[in-house]
A and B are shown apart, each in its own frame.
Chain A
Amino acid sequence: MNLLDGYGMDTITMAGPLEAKLEAMKSVGFSQVMLMARDLVGHPGGVKAAVKAVQKSGLRPTGFQVLRDFEGLSGHLHSYKVDIAKSMLEMCAATGSKVLLACSSTSRHATEDLDLIAKDLKKLAMMAIPLGIKVAYEGLSWGRTVNEFTTSWDVVCRADCPNLGIGIDSFHIFAAKTPLDAIEDIDPDRIYLAQLSDFMWHETPSFEERMTTARTFRVFPGEGVHSDQLADLVLRLERIGYRGDYSFEVFNDDYQQLPLETVAERARKSATWLHQDVLHRSAPLPSWASTSKRSAI
């Protein structure tokens, strides 16, 4: 049992080749990784080589990101997105990831009808079933129709499909200032991904500000100005019974310029803060104290 077992990093936080990112995460003690499609398709050896690198690292994929703007389209746009979704699902399955992250649509071509949005997400979830994949639907804070977790949960309930759940992302919750009380309405077993990050601004009123901040200036939990809220969010998730993974989705232009070990170390500190100071979980006992390892005398 490792203190960091329930936490992981997103590859998007670091610069460099996939193998170096995986190695950096592993070196500070992480045992899982949130992958993105670009890790695979941008790998110099191609998708197969990238999959091998993930398998060789021994890191468990937390999930695979990201399918964008899938829902609410019609005609040829819908067919096009179904093809894209299939490729994403195939790559997701190839890496051994059990969760595909799908973000709420920003497209002005998409319908605002929540029932039609739910219907499309159910289709996506059905496509994922034979591959053994769950779909985590996340409300982007600049999503056109779905931009809060309360609405993404509403849509997931309307779709009513066991492998369709929501993805929680602290950034979008704080950016949209969604009251945290609504966490209690969510079935913890249907939260398929919880991504955490903080940021430095108190206010992000416009969609443009949210987008810029989300894509360039997020920081690890505990490093920004929303630490108390973030702690509150994690404690609420804990209280409703969420026992899944926490992944740090930290888009940050500065971190893209730092040595990978430095970034991974910041992530480790953040996970330790969450684990010990927020969740008040004890550090694991050293291995010599574990009774299961004791040899019979």
Chain B
Amino acid sequence: MNLRTTDREAVPEMPNRLGIQGIEFIEYATNRPQALGQVLEAMGFRPVARHRSREVTLYRQGGMNLVVNANPDDARVSATVDGQAEISAVAFRVQDALKAHTRCIDLGAWSVASHAQAMELHIPAIHGPGGTRFYFVDRWQEFSIYDIDFKPIPTVDQHPAAVESMSYFGLVQYIGSARSQDWLAYYEHMFDFSVIADEERFGILPKGKLMKSPCGQFLWQLIEPDPWMEADEAPESLKRIGFGVKDVAQAVKTLKTNGVEFVESKELHPEDRGALTRSALGSVSFELVHQSV
């Protein structure tokens, strides 16, 4: 007899067929990169490197990489309205980028054509909601992908510490009405995300459906328009980033001294569970979510 202890209770193992291991970077597209840069710096990000061939800047704090894409040749940048920055891509750390990409294409994802220049990395990608992309990065352990495509900004600390140890907690995606089931199926099938019960919520904005990545490192929230907002035909988009933080009150205090403003209404205001920043540049807001270690 060689029964393993887990066999007694049939504990299901979460499949992770892409070998997802967290978020490598999140990308914003904007034609006003300096204005967005100011917003990001107030949130604690520091510009650390610039792309070798395109108008793209890498920001960083702690373990979070954030890319600001202002390349005028990129349709996603020219599509941004009045300088309103939009989340244009999320890069997942995976076991094998080519295998992950191939698997997703086999399952029905739309491939993104590469525009890598000579000696630049070709990072495989698929189309996401709206005009967004999902990238697959597998070289995050041996060396940094940024060493190839980016030049460090001289004299700048390449690894600035994160404000109150903030880290990527998740993304909020706005979807069309009655589209929750479609996207739940999509992320479950493509990325092995799993649904979290409606009773379990984090932060102060509990609406919609919540999914968890198979690595358990980040969440994905899907929000439909309210039923009375039938005229809301806004395109589907990645709306905001959520940062996980141990002490929300302390983080709010620190960020306020940086000039970050928080939504403080009767219904929605900073509390122990989380906080929401006021929209900057018409579209950019961030959410703080309490995260126990």
In the complex the two chains form, is B236's CB within 8 Å of A126's CB? no
| 18 pairs, CB–CB < 8 Å, chain A vs chain B | A86-B110, A122-B189, A123-B106, A126-B107, A127-B109, A127-B110, A129-B183, A129-B185, A129-B186, A130-B110, A130-B128, A130-B186, A132-B176, A162-B181, A162-B185, A163-B181, A163-B182, A163-B185
Docked complex Cα distance between A127 and B129 (Å): 12
Fill in one digit per residue for A145-166: 1 if any B CB lies within 8 Å of its CB, else 0: 0000000000000000111000
- Report chain A residues within 8 Å CB of B189: 122, 126, 161
Docked complex Cα distance between A132 and B179 (Å): 8
Q: Is B206 an interface residue (CB 8 A)?
A: no
Docked complex Cα distance between A239 and B179 (Å): 26
In the complex the two chains form, is B107's CB within 8 Å of A162's CB? no
Residue from B107, B129, B181 within 8 A of A130 (CB atoms): B129
The chain B residue sitting closest to A85, CB to CB, is: B108
Interface band, chain A: 10 to 19
Of residues 188 through 213 on chain B, the ones whose CB sits less than 8 Å from some CB of chain A are 189-190
A162 → B minimal CB distance (Å): 4
Fill in one digit per residue for B154-187: 1 if any A CB lies within 8 Å of its CB, else 0: 0000000000000000000000100101111110
Q: Is A12 an interface residue (CB 8 A)?
A: no
Docked complex Cα distance between A197 and B22 (Å): 53
In the complex the two chains form, is B108's CB within 8 Å of A124's CB? yes
Nearest first, the 7 A-B pairs at minimum CB distance are A126-B108, A162-B181, A123-B108, A127-B108, A129-B186, A129-B182, A163-B182
Q: Is B51 an interface residue (CB 8 A)?
A: no
In the complex the two chains form, is B236's CB within 8 Å of A132's CB? yes
- Report chain B residues within 8 Å CB of A161: 185, 189
Q: Is A125 an interface residue (CB 8 A)?
A: yes
- Report chain A residues within 8 Å CB of B183: 129
Of residues 45 through 80 on chain A, the ones whose CB sits less than 8 Å from some CB of chain B are none
The chain B residue sitting closest to A133, CB to CB, is: B182
Q: Is B99 an interface residue (CB 8 A)?
A: no
Docked complex Cα distance between A123 and B128 (Å): 16
- Report chain A residues within 8 Å CB of B240: none
Docked complex Cα distance between A123 and B179 (Å): 18
Fill in one digit per residue for B101-121: 1 if any A CB lies within 8 Å of its CB, else 0: 000001111100000000000
- Report chain B residues within 8 Å CB of A163: 181-182, 185
The chain B residue sitting closest to A89, CB to CB, is: B110
- Report chain A residues within 8 Å CB of B107: 123, 126
Q: Is B127 an interface residue (CB 8 A)?
A: yes
Docked complex Cα distance between A82 and B186 (Å): 18
Fill in one digit per residue for A107-149: 1 if any B CB lies within 8 Å of its CB, else 0: 0000000000000001111110110100000000000000000
The chain B residue sitting closest to A98, CB to CB, is: B176
Docked complex Cα distance between A132 and B234 (Å): 13
The chain A residue sitting closest to B109, CB to CB, is: A126
B168 → A minimal CB distance (Å): 23
Docked complex Cα distance between A161 and B184 (Å): 10
Counting chain B CB atoms within 10 Å of each CB, which of A124, A130, A132 scores highest? A130
- Report chain A residues within 8 Å CB of B185: 129, 161-163
The chain B residue sitting closest to A131, CB to CB, is: B110
The chain A residue sitting closest to B106, CB to CB, is: A123
In the complex the two chains form, is A126's CB within 8 Å of B186's CB? yes
Docked complex Cα distance between A125 and B107 (Å): 10
Docked complex Cα distance between A128 and B84 (Å): 28
Q: A161-B185, A162-B182 are in contact. Are A126 and B127 (CB under 8 A)?
A: no
B233 → A minimal CB distance (Å): 10
Docked complex Cα distance between A163 and B108 (Å): 13
Docked complex Cα distance between A122 and B184 (Å): 14
The chain B residue sitting closest to A86, CB to CB, is: B110
- Report chain A residues within 8 Å CB of B128: 130
B235 → A minimal CB distance (Å): 9
Docked complex Cα distance between A122 and B190 (Å): 12
B131 → A minimal CB distance (Å): 10
12 more CB-based (< 8 A) A-B contacts, given A129-B183, A161-B185, A163-B182: A86-B110, A123-B107, A124-B108, A126-B186, A126-B189, A127-B108, A129-B182, A129-B185, A130-B127, A132-B176, A132-B236, A162-B185
